Amino acid sequence: MTDFAATKAMFHLPIGMVYLDGNSLGPLPKSAAERVARTITAEWGDMLILGWNKAGWMDKPMAVGNRIARLIGAEPGSVAMGDTLSIKVYQALASALEMNAPRKVILSDSGNFPSDLYMAQGLCRTLGPQYQLKIVAPEDVLGAIDQTVAVTMITEVDYRTGRKHDMAAITARAHAMGALTIWDLAHSAGAFPVALAACGADFACGCTYKYLNSGPGGPAFIYVAPRHQDHARSALSGWQGHDAPFAFDLDYRPAAGAERMRVGTPPILQMAALEASLDIWDKVDMAALRAASLALSDQFIAGVEAACPTLTLATPRAHDQRGSQVSFRHPEGYAIMQAVIARGVIGDFRAPDILRFGFTPLFVDAADVAKAVAVLAEVMEGSLWDHPDYKTRKKVT
Ligand SMILES: *Cc1c(COP(=O)(O)O)cnc(C)c1O
């Protein structure tokens, strides 16, 4: 069991704020400031270049990857840290397409986060006109996997609705059709237990600044199944993924295992912040996390549906079909969310009409949910959102 009151006490949460946006940017672990400061002064400051060996900087991308591996059901040594999620999506795609030549089709769905689609479009343009990104409706993914598909590129949880795909079923279908799978775990890692190895996933990637609380710009991760690690090639063949970076060979030779997916110099300071968060994650039982997340989400859904009849639930009700966020639709969603934020409950808005709330048991409890419901009810009953201050869209929604 996990003591979620204890984990909540480990985060800095502004007084009076109910933070339901850890699915977009996780809060600050209280130990992170000191951890990063120590890395800055005792390592960068006092060790300078020696830190690469003495402080273990060079090994961090795989060492930190191993701590994330437990959260996503991955084998030890199969997760490498670095770069951003968009970059890791590109790398996984390029590897999978090369491995599954001569097939040329990438299959994704319209619930995917646009950056994944954009990266695929850019890669197809580079590879040539034979390559194609096929985008179908989320409910049509399973049926669209046929023998032309080289790789499926599916984000497990829809960033807008919170709808969760069936990883085991899609992976099995893909393999039966001779396709490889890439799972984007942006809204899965740290949201609920993921079983990459058990599902037989080929590749996966995700970011750490959402549920894993590494702070803005924290490094992404990439997973390569052990059976592919020694023949998956990296299109972004940077020196840190070389077998012997300090041999400074003129020709690229990939490192053994998933380490070959490293590209360039890793972000040591951000990884220090991530490690502070992983100290908390190390204590979390993933089954307990899921149970608590569903209880909070159910409480929120029931409360909002009882108090706010004009909001329409956009998230599936079935537990096995949703992640750790709850979304409601309303044509005035942006203004409503601004009014709710002005009253200390932080969620966010996704065009065209989605109000999004993340439920993260590590730092959200039942009293927070009750307050969020009360604030939303007050805003809706009094039409408090109907005010010019709440209607001008900011750059980040
Ligand atoms: C958040 C998110 C991203 C963001 O990618 P970055 O490169 O980290 O900016 C990409 N894909 C999905 C599915 C996401 O949810």
Q: Cα(355)–Cα(337) distance, rounded to whole angstroms?
A: 7
Q: Is 103 a catalytic residue?
A: no
Ligand 1 centroid distance, CA of 114 (Å): 8
CA-84 nearest atom, ligand 1? 7
Sign of the dihedral through C-alpha 200, 201, 202, 204: negative
Closest ligand 1 atom to Cα of 220: 8
Please list the helix, strand and coil fractions of the chain in percent, rounded to the nearest 5, in that order: 45, 15, 40
Question: pLDDT tens across 316-342, in order?
Answer: 999 999 999 999 999 999 999 999 999
* Residues spanned by the domain of 335: 4-28+285-391
Q: State the Cα–Cα distance between residues 93 and 99, nearest whole angstrom.
A: 10
Q: 188 C-alpha to center of ligand 1: Å? A: 12
- Residue 346 placed within a domain: yes
| Residue of minimum CA distance from atom 3 in ligand 1 | 85
**Structure confidence at residue 149 (pLDDT):** 98
250, 321: one domain: no
Specify whether 80 is located in the same domain as 225. yes
394 — pLDDT class (breaks 50, 70, 90): confident
Paired sense of beta strands 221-224 and 203-206, if any: antiparallel
Query: Ligand 1, closest atom to CA 184?
Result: 13
Does the structure show a pLDDT above 80 at 1?
no
Compute CA distances 178 → 90, 99, 173, 223, whole Å.
21, 11, 9, 20
Judgement on whether residues 236 and 305 belong to the same structural domain of the protein: no
Q: Residue 113 catalytic?
A: yes
Distance 214 CA to ligand 1 centre (A): 14
Answer with the one of 222, 248, 281 that is the final residue of a domain.
Answer: 281
Q: In whole angstroms, what is the distance from residue 66 CA to residue 79 CA?
A: 6
pLDDT (average), residues 373-389: 97
Rounded (5°) CA angle 65-66-72: 85
Nearest residue (by CA) to ligand 1, atom 8, is: 85
Does 169 lie in the same domain as 229? Answer: yes
Last residue of a domain, one of 281, 316, 338: 281
- In this prediction, residue 122 carries a pLDDT of 98
Nearest atom in ligand 1 to the alpha carbon of residue 210 is 1
Q: Is residue 222 part of a domain?
A: yes
> What 3-state class would DSSP assign to 28?
strand
The pTM of the whole model exceeds 0.95: yes
- Residue 310 clears pLDDT 80, i.e. is over it: yes
Q: Relative to the CA of 207, which ligand 1 atom is closest?
A: 8
C-alpha 212: how far from its chain's center?
Answer: 8
Instruction: For residue 112, tell me if it sits in a domain.
Output: yes
Determine whether 271 is exposed, middle or buried from the number of CB atoms within 10 Å of its CB (0-12, 13-18, 19+). buried
Q: Which amino acid is at 223?
A: Y
Q: Are residues 103 and 222 in the same domain?
A: yes
Q: Which residues line ligand 1 (CB under 6 A)?
A: 84-86, 113, 115-116, 155, 159, 184, 186-187, 207, 220
Per-residue confidence (pLDDT) for residue 94, from 0 to 100: 98
pLDDT band at 71 (very low <50, low <70, confident <90, very high): very high
Active site residue 209: yes
Question: What's the pLDDT score for residue 396?
Answer: 86
What is the count of structural domains for the chain?
2
- pLDDT tens, 238-270? 999 999 999 999 999 999 999 999 999 999 999
234 and 122 fall within a common domain: yes
pLDDT digits (tens, 9 = 90+) for 290-305: 999 999 999 999 999 9
Smallest CA-to-CA distance from 160 within 55, 313, 18, 296 is with 313
Q: Give me the CATH number covering residue 361.
A: 3.90.1150.10
Query: At 126, which CATH number?
Result: 3.40.640.10
Q: Is pLDDT at 119 greater than 80 in this prediction?
A: yes
- Cα of 118 vs centre of ligand 1, distance in Å, is 11
pLDDT at 27 over 80: yes
Nearest CA to ligand 1 atom 15: 186
Indicate the pLDDT class of residue 174, thresholds 50, 70 and 90. Answer: very high
> How does residue 395 score in pLDDT terms, banded at 50, 70 and 90?
confident
Residues 229 and 277 in one domain: yes
The pLDDT value recorded for residue 226 is 98
37 and 24 housed in the same domain: no
Considering 281, 309, 333, which residue would you say is the last residue of a domain? Answer: 281
**Residue 397 domain flag:** no
Q: For ligand 1, pick from 23, 81, 116 the residue to mutate: most ligand atoms within 8 Å of CB.
A: 116
210 catalytically annotated: yes
| Same domain, residue pair 181 and 322 | no
Residue 202 annotated to the active site: no
Residue 95's contacts (CB-CB under 8 Å, 6 or more residues apart) are 203, 224, 228, 232, 233, 234, 235
C-alpha to C-alpha distance for 215 and 238, rounded to whole angstroms = 25
Same-domain check for residues 289 and 208: no
Choose one of 24, 25, 85 to mutate for the ligand 1 pocket test, by most ligand atoms within 8 angstroms of C-beta.
Answer: 85
**Of 35, 164, 260, 356, which one is the catalytic site residue?**
356
pLDDT band at 43, cuts 50/70/90?
very high
Residue-wise pLDDT tens digits, 205-217: 999 999 999 999 9
The pLDDT, as a whole number, for residue 35 is 98
Q: How far, in Å, CA of 142 to CA of 130, rounded?
A: 23
pLDDT at 265: 97
Verify that 210 and 120 share a domain, yes or no. yes
Cα 106 to the center of its chain, rounded Å:
21
Q: Are residues 277 and 296 in the same domain?
A: no
Residue 384 within any structural domain of the chain: yes
User: Which among 8, 30, 104, 113 is annotated as catalytic?
Assistant: 113
CA of 184 to the centre of ligand 1 (A): 9
The answer to whether residue 353 is domain-embedded is yes
* Residue 396 within any structural domain of the chain: no
Distance, CA 23 to ligand 1 centroid (Å)? 11
For position 93, what pLDDT does the model report? 98
* 327 falls within a domain: yes
